[in-house]
Amino acid sequence: MAHALSDDQVSKELKKMVAFIRQEALEKAREISIKADEEFAIEKSKLVRTETLAIDAQYERKFKQAELSQQIARSNVTNKTRLKVLAARQQLLDDIFDQARGKLAEISKDEAGYEEILKNLVLECVYALDERRISVRVREKDVEVSKRAVEKAKGEYKGELEVEIEEWNWLPAESHGGIYMISGSGKISINNTLEERLKLLESEALPAVRASVFGQNPNRKFYD
């Protein structure tokens, strides 16, 4: 038969139970604290890593932007310099042809030489038109030298050739000379004035003039 516990025994048992419960609570609190510390360390590490990656990405982005801005600025400076060089070169070429244009007026002052030039211009147009009957426009002051040039051209041309100088339709007096030829049908014409010849020379001789003045372009692989 079990004996009833005395008050002292009950008190001891209660103390044991309280001590056990306290110990369990302390261990549980320690476990919770350790787990919380671990979770905090993990979250802190994640946060630090995330922020580090964000900072690195931001730095990389800013670095690329700065590098791109530098490339753009360098390209702009290069292009501006290149455009200035090209503009200066073009101005020099324009000056060369302007000087040539200014000397056109001197050509007709040498009457014998000018007569030869007119003859050759007439023959060039005649062969190009391939017609036996044509008309020619000249400056009014060139009418006599033009008539002589036409006769010489007719003498050199192989075949019959009828040339009429339009003495009612002159080239502008301020022009530098040359001829303007019209076919017999009036449907085809050739502008062989000195001004027009210089324009053709500008386009055809420009590459050679450019190479003569500035040298060959090492980056150019093909030539006309």
Residues above pLDDT 90, as percent of the chain: 33
* Residue 163 near residue 136 (C-beta atoms within 8 A): yes
* Domain extents in the chain: 11-109, 110-213
Over the range 34-62, which residues count as b (16 or more CB within 10 Å of their CB) and which as e?
Answer: eeeeeeeeeeeeeeeeeeeeeeeeeeeee
Instruction: Identify the residue with better confidence: 100 or 167.
Output: 167
pLDDT for 149 equals 95
Q: What pLDDT is recorded for position 53?
A: 84
- For residue 153, pLDDT over 60 is answered with yes
Helix/strand/coil for 193: strand
Of 35, 38, 39, whose CA–CA distance to 27 is shortest? 35
Give pLDDT, residue 125.
93
Examine the pLDDT at 83 and tell me if it is beyond 70.
Answer: yes
Quote the Cα angle for 85-88-90, to 5°: 110
Q: Is the pLDDT of residue 224 over 60?
A: no
What is the pTM for the complete model shown? Answer: 0.55
Determine the pLDDT at residue 214. 63
- 62's torsion region: left (phi>0), alpha (psi -120 to 50) or beta? alpha
Does residue 29 have a pLDDT over 70? yes
Q: Which fold has domain 110-213?
A: hypothetical protein PF0899 fold (3.30.2320)
Please give the average per-residue pLDDT across 145-170, as a whole number: 92
Average per-residue pLDDT in the chain?
Answer: 83
Question: Comparing 93-107, 144-158, 180-194, which segment has the lowest mean pLDDT?
Answer: 93-107
Q: Which residue type does 44 have?
A: K
- For the four alpha carbons of 159, 124, 117 and 182, in that order, the dihedral sign comes to positive
Instruction: Compute the average pLDDT of residues 195-207.
Output: 79
